[in-house]
Every structure is written in C-alpha cells, then in structure tokens.
C-alpha cells in the first residue's frame, strides 16, 4: 500500500441471497454447496425457454421497515435496505456517536426497479391509460433510489450515489467507496448493490440473448461454471452490503475487522456489448492493476472468487486471463465461482461475492464451485470442485465483468495492524 493513502478495512456485512437471508446463513450454505435454483414462482413461465432461477425465498420486508414504506419500495430497494440494516448492526456502529456527515452511501443496481416498471406498464395498458400510473412509479424504479433510502434511513449525509455498470455494478461501488475513504472524503461508507430482475421482461430479455441456461429439468445443476456442459447462466436476486471504514477510525472505536481492501483494478474491454475481449485482455489488465495498487506480487494470491458465469465465452476467457496474469502460479491458485450456488445476481453479484471473498480470508475457508462434473480442457485450473476446502487465505481477488466491457477486480488481504 502507498503510505500517503488511508487504509480501508471491512467492518460490517449484510446480505439477502437465494441461499440465505443473512450473512451467516449465506456463508454456511456457500460452504455446504447448497444450490438456490428452482422453478420460477413469481410469474407464469410456461411460455419461456428458461423456467428456472435462484429466487430469494422467505424474505419479509416488514422485518426491516413498516408496511407503508415497504409498499413504496421496489423489491430491489427492499433487499437493499435489509442488507444495510444488517450490516450496520454487524459493524456495531453507534450512529448517534458518529459524525454522520462523514458517512456515505455508494450503492448500485444494474437494472433497478424492473418489477415496478412491469406492473406500472400493466396498469397503464390494462386499466385506463397514463392517468393510472402511480406517482411513486419513477422514485420506485430508478436505480439510485436504494442509495437514497439507505442514507435517509440512517440519516447519513456524506457522499451518496449509485453506480450502474451491469454485472460489475457493485464492485464499482465498492471501488469508489475505497477511493473516497482513501482520499479523506469520508470515514465510513455503506457500499454494495441490489437486484430484483427475475420478472417477465428480465427473463424474457436474457432469453432473447440466449444467455440463460435452459436446463429446466435439473435447476439445481443448471449453474455449472467452468464445466464442459455449461449452457448459460442462471439468474439470481438479492443484495449485499459492506461497511468500509478508515482503519484509524475503526481502531479508535474498537471495531472488528474482517479484512482489508488493499487494491482495485478497473478497466474496459472496448470490444463488444456482451462478449469479453479475446483472451480476456480487459480482465488481465484489471487483475494486474489491482495487484499493482496493493503492491503485491501475483504469487501471494491464494484465492480468486471468479466472475464464473457458467457461459461458454466468459469461463474460457476468465481462465485465459488468470493464466496470463499468474503464469505457473495459476495452477496453484484456488478459484471458485459461487454463482454455481447463488446464480448470477447481476448488479449485486460483486457485492455478495466480495462478502464471500472477505469471509474466506477471515475464516481461512474457500467455498466450492458446485456442479463441476465434466472437465473442460480449455478450463483446466483448480476450481475447488464440489466441496469446500480449509486453508490459510492471506490475499484474495474478487472479479466481476459486465456487459459493455466493464471489468472490476477487488483485492482483499488479511488484516495486519503494522
């Protein structure tokens, strides 16, 4: 780390996922290899090529906000506020004794309120035209509203905005939070992302792109990153929140520190709207930049939480990129895609995968890539197949790559005070 920049640590976590409604449940189910996939229950999928997804199950927004407030929120915002409330509690933050003008919220969504859009379109066309549109339509739909609600809920008044960069959205939010704390613009930032796009247009749109798995008869085996029989990703939903904090601020209040965020790498492919650049060129630069930012050599990395979408192009490209960056060390790395269990949370993927990466460092345990049954000769690294492993994890990278050629790599390290 450069000595002239403040150090940034992770002091709180919150998550709503298809395999757990809190961080502890999410972590335990990740280690056990639990799949969150099943038949879609939120709408009629009889006419869809894909009939499966990783839906959040059993979530009740009234556990976090009152009914009136919940009714004025899209589902993605409900997930967001829930993850924030849990993260603040986990961080043991006493906001009444903290300068709220030094606390920010940078929280993204790749798509925003798709369910709100869908329902309001139905209202307009089925029950009487534009005058039937709710006055809450726009503030429920827009992607930045989750960040706004979080700041209002906690009355925190530092930097406040949303990021949107497809599947890299919440990794970009975390990277921005890191930069702002480093340069002294905030002491604490609530950061991450949320998504709730398992809806008629969401599934229909990705089906039109031929991006989704159609393994409808075996939903729990449909997300199979790096496996030779992968046929597309499985949609997921939920939210992840990390509390990032200036190290000195965290130490002064006696905070538990999960890990340190030591480096970031942000690049663009400038190649294609959906396909990665040949050989993973953008991902190569992203990982090299985060190593350089952290001042670390490639051989000290123990684990990579891969973007690993279970699509033919991405998994091959990411494997090529890892080999290019790490050389022979690539074969010593432990790599896993937890999308095999959660599905692809789109704009929230980076946040929940950063949480997994942080917990892997904190607990010295690495979750598996489930459904790895048929090796692909073009994907020949150690993807931690099917069972978690316990080993020391001193440094790890979380990769996220989004449509439009957006690449983000976050490098976390085990916290050492010196």
Residues acting as catalytic residues: 167, 307, 344
Residues 347, 166 contacting (CB under 8 angstroms): yes
CA-nearest of 356, 362, 20, 343 to 192 is 356
Residue 140: its H or E element:
helix 137-141
Within 10 Å of residue 385's Cβ, how many Cβ atoms? Answer: 16
User: Which phi-psi region, left, alpha or beta, contains residue 282 (left: φ > 0; alpha: ψ -120 to 50)?
Assistant: alpha
Tally helices (H) and strands (E) across the chain. 13, 14
SS3 313: helix
CA distances from 43 to 46, 110, 299, 388 (A): 9, 21, 47, 34
Report DSSP state, residue 276.
P
Residue 326: its H or E element:
helix 312-326
**C-alpha span between 48 and 214 (Å, rounded):** 10
Residues 173, 193 contacting (CB under 8 angstroms): yes
240: tokens are 């992840």
Q: Which residues contact 38 (CB under 8 A, 6 or more apart)?
A: 52, 53, 54, 55, 219, 220
Residue 52's beta-bridge partner residues? Answer: 39
**C-alpha span between 401 and 16 (Å, rounded):** 21
Q: Which residues contact 324 (CB under 8 A, 6 or more apart)?
A: 279, 280, 284
Residues 378, 219 contacting (CB under 8 angstroms): no
Residues 258, 364 contacting (CB under 8 angstroms): no
């Amino acid at each position: 780390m450069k000595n002239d920049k403040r150090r940034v640590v992770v002091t709180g976590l919150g998550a709503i996922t298809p395999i757990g409604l809190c961080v502890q449940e999410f972590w335990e189910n990740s280690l056990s290899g639990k799949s969150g996939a099943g038949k879609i229950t939120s709408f009629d999928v009889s006419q869809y090529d894909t009939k499966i997804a990783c839906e959040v199950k059993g979530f009740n927004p009234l556990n976090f906000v009152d009914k009136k407030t919940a009714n004025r929120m899209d589902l993605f915002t409900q997930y967001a506020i829930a993850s924030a409330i849990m993260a603040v509690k986990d961080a043991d933050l006493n906001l009444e004794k903290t300068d709220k003008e030094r606390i920010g919220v940078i929280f993204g969504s790749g798509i925003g309120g798709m369910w709100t859009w869908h329902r309001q379109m139905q209202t307009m066309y089925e029950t009487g035209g534009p005058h039937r549109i709710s006055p809450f339509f726009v503030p429920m739909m827009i992607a930045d509203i989750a960040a706004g609600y979080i700041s209002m809920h906690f009355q925190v008044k530092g930097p406040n905005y949303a990021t949107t960069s497809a599947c890299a959205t919440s990794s970009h939010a975390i990277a921005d939070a890191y930069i702002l704390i480093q340069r002294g613009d905030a002491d604490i930032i609530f950061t991450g992302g949320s998504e709730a796009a398992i809806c008629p247009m969401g599934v229909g749109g990705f089906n039109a792109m031929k991006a989704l798995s159609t393994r409808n008869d075996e939903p729990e085996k449909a997300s199979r990153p790096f496996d030779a029989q992968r046929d597309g990703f499985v949609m997921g939903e939920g939210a992840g929140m990390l509390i990032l904090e200036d190290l000195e601020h965290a130490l002064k209040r006696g905070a538990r520190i999960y890990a340190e965020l030591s480096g970031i790498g942000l690049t663009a492919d400038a190649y294609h709207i959906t396909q990665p650049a040949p050989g993973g060129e953008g991902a190569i630069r992203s990982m090299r930049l985060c190593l350089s930012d952290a001042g670390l050599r490639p051989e000290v990395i123990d684990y990579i939480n891969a973007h690993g979408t279970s699509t033919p192009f991405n998994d091959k490209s990411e494997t090529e990129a890892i080999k290019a960056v790490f050389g022979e060390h690539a074969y010593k790395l432990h790599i896993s895609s937890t999308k095999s269990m959660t599905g692809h949370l789109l704009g929230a993927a980076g946040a929940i995968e950063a949480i997994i990466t942080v917990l892997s460092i904190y607990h010295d345990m690495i979750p598996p890539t489930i459904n790895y049954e048929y090796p692909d000769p073009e994907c020949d690294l150690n993807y931690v197949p099917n069972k978690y492993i316990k080993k020391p994890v001193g440094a790890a990278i979380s990769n996220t790559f989004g449509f439009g050629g957006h690449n983000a790599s976050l490098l976390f390290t085990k916290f050492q005070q010196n």
